[in-house]
Structure 1
Amino acid sequence: MNWIKILTQNRIPYYIYKLKREDFIILNKKNSNIIIILSGIIFITKVFPNKELLPIAILDKTNIFIKSNKERRTYYKIFALEEAYVLTFNASFLNKTYINHSININLLNKYKKTIDKYEAMNNIMSQKQIQNRILQLIFTICLQFGTVKNQKISIPFRLSNKNIAILTGTSEHTINKVIRRIYNKGIIKEKNNKIISINNIYYLNLK
């Protein structure tokens, strides 16, 4: 669906953000926003008053994110795992009488796909041991976004230790130690430009 064209036709104002890898934006606390990923891969975290971050989901152009205006004490950050274009608009415009209701149907279909991404993140965070949480994260990203060549699965973007720390809810210092241990065991490999790969996905387990 050409969201820019549809929103323009329905007189819904919108903003488009270009995010370079490692960039982030903060969503407005007051409004109910709908976020559509036009291209690239992003992840979203919820930020609490004590600055604690809770990873919500890793999303791509098949997904949307809906932020309610009821959460006054928390806000959300959108981080780019690779260069991304993100479109956002105020959800209140969908209640206007002149709006084509096909927009709501398409948003609902995208949201159904997004729910799976929430569940995947919950599975990651449910791992009690940090090493298992990291492996579950890498396994999930490989399944969702990985490229397969010669029985090898590679993540098509650089996954920094800083982002791994955010996505697993731990410190970067801890991630550095655990990642070294994982590499030494040969569970995962690292190619040029820090691209993570798995030579044989059947070797990736949580035991």
Structure 2
Amino acid sequence: MKWIKLLTKNKIPYYIYKIKKEDFIILNKNNSNAMIILSGIIAITKVFHNKELLPIAILDRNNILIRGSKEAKTYYKIVALEKTYILTLNKDLLNKSNNILININLLNSYNKTIDKYEAMNHIMSQKQIKHRILQLIFTICLQFGKVESQKIFIPFKLSNKNIAILTGTSENTVNKVIRKIYQQGIIKDYSNKVISINNILDLNLK
């Protein structure tokens, strides 16, 4: 992988962590490392002191995280939606690097990460919960979907619990909405929590 090769070549120390599906890690104000996703998919939420959750982004390969929350009693929770490998290193060493390839890759990772943050902001801007859930599903299909036999499907199990977290609603509400849009034919398959859509051009979102 390019990050491992670049860091090894420039003698910048790093560590690699494996996060199993549904496992999580916490980032708080004491976090001083940069984190680069080598493979896998993670969901990030901001957890406030009253336990309220704010969805932040869904990130994958080559996206980057630089710091935890600066606010007291507030932290970021990173949940693996599938098996994920994360590279961590001292952010000061990364920022001080004079290697042009590292800086180019760092800039590209920043830009890709910002796009993912903007996508989540767009999802949360939907006032109706149904539209918010649909926007989440379509965004995930666009970012991570696989096309097979004229069908696009999400290549990992997306639980109703995670949909609730990523749309800022309750799991009970998600159950009702998912059941309704499945019956309407918006989602063509929902077996084993693997979502697929047969023909996105024929969708009726009313």
Q: Which residue of 2 aligns with 1:117?
A: 116
Q: Which residue of 1 aligns with 2:36?
A: 36
Q: Which residue of 1 aligns with 2:134?
A: 135
Q: Which residue of 1 aligns with 2:65?
A: 65
Pairwise CA RMSD of aligned residues?
Answer: 2.1
Instruction: Name which of structure 1's ranges 8-17 and 81-90 shifts more when overlaid on structure 2.
Output: 8-17
Quote the sequence identity (%): 75
CA distance 1:12–1:23, change in 2 (3 Å): same
Give per-residue Cα distances to partners, 1:56-111, cap 9 Å, x unaligned.
11111132122256444421111111111111223122355x76353233111111
Which ranges in structure 1 are unaligned for 5 or more consecutive residues? Answer: none
**1:127 match: secondary structure:** coil
**1:67 match: secondary structure:** coil
Query: Is contact 2:55-2:168 (8 Å) kept?
Result: yes
Shift of 1:25: 0.8
Amino acid at match of 1:182: I
> Which structure 1 residue ranges, 4+ long, deviate > 3 Å from structure 2?
8-13, 68-73, 98-102, 203-207
Alignment of 1:84-95 (within 5 A): 84-95=84-95
Query: Is contact 2:28-2:74 (8 Å) kept?
Result: no
**1:170 match: secondary structure:** coil
Q: Which residue of 2 aligns with 1:165?
A: 164
CA distance 1:68–1:203, change in 2 (3 Å): same
Query: Is contact 2:182-2:190 (8 Å) kept?
Result: no
Give per-residue Cα distances to partners, 1:29-73, cap 9 Å, x unaligned.
313332111111111111112111111111111321222564444
Q: In the aligned structure 2, how far is the partner of 1:11 from the partner of 1:75?
A: 31
Q: Which residue of 2 aligns with 1:17?
A: 17
Query: Is contact 1:34-1:67 (8 Å) kept?
Result: yes
Which ranges in structure 2 are unaligned for 5 or more consecutive residues? Answer: none
Query: Is contact 2:20-2:84 (8 Å) kept?
Result: yes
Instruction: Name which of structure 1's ranges 138-147 and 4-13 shifts more when overlaid on structure 2.
Output: 4-13
Q: In the aligned structure 2, how far is the partner of 1:53 from the partner of 1:206?
A: 27
Give the TM-score taking structure 1 as reference length: 0.89
Amino acid at match of 1:67: R
Query: Is contact 2:14-2:87 (8 Å) kept?
Result: yes
**1:115 match: secondary structure:** helix
CA distance 1:10–1:146, change in 2 (3 Å): same
